[in-house]
Amino acid sequence: MNQKINKVFTLLVIALIVALFFNLNWFLKTIYPLKYEDYIVKYSKEYGLDPYLVASVIKIESNFNPSSISNKGAIGLMQIMPSTAVWAAGKMGIREEKIDLMDPKTNIMIGTWYLSDLLREFKGDLTLALAAYNGGRGNVREWVDRGLFDVKNKKEEEIPFVETKFFVMKVKKAYYWYRKLYRLK
């Protein structure tokens, strides 16, 4: 009889673990949603980025709200400052009047290009590129040049701007989860 009870108990535990796994996956996907997948994949490929990274930036910047406007004036999914958008669009060969940062396609295209440009500038260093995306490339260059941020250790905790420090940490955490939860094309 004990053997039969053990088998039933084991099967119940396995069933519970499977149920929790599927519910956990669902729960995590509500925390880390994925929208605009086609644009994310298209422009990530075009500009040589990991689409999971782009999705992570969008999640942290706007939680996939294309109408989001920050108190500093950053607009859209990837929270792009209008002046940055005009500069980036010029580099991309896009006329200024074609820039609509509330349009998901345009916002993801410009934001992905800009993030790619920062990764090139900072030689693939994700921490520095994300810090520059949030805190400004000039500020990051100054931190590095003045020794305010140790490039060798790259500890996010040492980023001088508190908002930027937390932005980098949140994007990296989201990046981990997007890679675990989704299979992008």
Q: Cα dihedral sign for 68, 69, 72, 78? A: positive
What residue type is assigned to position 80 of the chain?
I
The answer to whether 158 is a known catalytic residue is no
**Residue 141 CB: number of other CB atoms within 10 A?**
14
Could you report how far apart the first and last alpha carbons of the chain are, in Å? 51
The CA distances from residue 173 to 23, 31, 143, 167, 178, in Å, are 20, 12, 23, 10, 9
Q: Please pick, among 46, 61, 121, 156, the residue that the annotation labels catalytic.
A: 61
What does the DSSP assignment read for 139-179?
HHHHHHHTTSS-TTT--GGG-SSHHHHHHHHHHHHHHHHHH
Catalytic residues, by residue number, are 61
